[in-house]
Structure 1
Amino acid sequence: MTLTATAPIVQMVRFAMVGAVNTGTYYVCYLLLLKELPYLAAHILAFCLAMVGSFFLNAYFTYRIRPTWRKFLLFPLTNAANFVITTFGVYALVDLAHFSSTWAPLAAAVAAIPITFVVSRTIMLRPDNRQASESLGESVAQTTPTA
């Protein structure tokens, strides 16, 4: 097996590792927010916060690419299916099946993993055009005043 043939497998393993960290991040945020917000509001806000961390972990660790503004702005598309599946899953588990709102998000997240990987890989490995390929780091460096 060549390196290019194993790349998707290695990326899938890394994606799963990032997913575990991201799920933990999401779940801690969700539990903290659940103390002050209704469960769906806590879910949505925790999901958005965890998605930002997921972008950077996937860029640097999973796909070994530099994060660009274009990919950052497209990255939420990788979570669209995840968001729909988990949000419907949380709702169905809590309101319809009377499952605990504490555990429902973890159960709902499992079904979304394969779809999220395929969409993530497609967007993250897509070549950027020249104008949109400026990295997030380059953008910050250009706006920071020098002494």
Structure 2
Amino acid sequence: MDIKKLRQLPEFFRFVMVGVFATALHYGVYFVLQWVINVNVAYTLGYAISFVANFYLTAYFTFGQKPSWSKAFGFGGAHLVNYLLHMGLLNLFLWLGISKTLAPVPVFAIAIPVNFLLVRFVFKNKRLDGKS
């Protein structure tokens, strides 16, 4: 499937595609690093790396917009809330006895839908573009 056809998919499906990629990147970094460093540090590094890729893919592919500083700050704010949710849930699931390897899975299941709503607000909010 070429990029033009992919851009014709509904916004939510494009968001899911970007999200799957960003989540796989996040988990991949976490999975490798959690064996050699603290799980919270590994999770944070994976989140940070996937955040950068996610921002650009979300702007260009999901919402068809150029990245801007206002969008970057809004996206960063949405992801700060999302990161805090991730970390709280990760540590909750670890505390509940879920293995380090599997604990991110339920975190993703809860946090990704919340993230969609936050990020969609950022990219659909005309005030962040300086427009009323």
Provide the TM-score with structure 1 as the length reference.
Answer: 0.75
Q: Which residue of 1 aligns with 2:71?
A: 71
Q: Which residue of 1 aligns with 2:130?
A: 129
Percent identity of equivalent pairs: 27
Q: Which residue of 1 aligns with 2:105?
A: 106
Contact 1:82 1:109 in 2 (8 A): no
Count of residue pairs brought into register by the alignment: 121
Q: Which residue of 2 aligns with 1:11?
A: 11
Q: Which residue of 1 aligns with 2:3?
A: none
Asked if 1:119 corresponds to 2:93, the answer is no
Amino acid at match of 1:129: G
Contact 1:90 1:108 in 2 (8 A): yes
Q: Which runs of 4+ in 1 moved over 3 A?
A: none
Provide the TM-score with structure 2 as the length reference.
Answer: 0.83
The structural deviation recorded for 1:82 is 2.2
Runs (5+) with no aligned partner, structure 2: 1-8
The CA RMSD measured in Å over matched residues stands at 1.7
Amino acid at match of 2:114: I
The structural deviation recorded for 1:13 is 1.3
The structural deviation recorded for 1:44 is 1.1
d(CA) in 1 for partners of 2:93, 2:64: 36
Amino acid at match of 2:112: I
Q: Which residue of 1 aligns with 2:51?
A: 51
d(CA) in 2 for partners of 1:57, 1:89: 25
The structural deviation recorded for 1:11 is 1.2
Amino acid at match of 1:83: Y
Q: Which residue of 2 aligns with 1:60?
A: 60
The structural deviation recorded for 1:126 is 2.5
The structural deviation recorded for 1:76 is 1.4
d(CA) in 2 for partners of 1:106, 1:38: 18
Q: Which residue of 2 aligns with 1:27?
A: 27
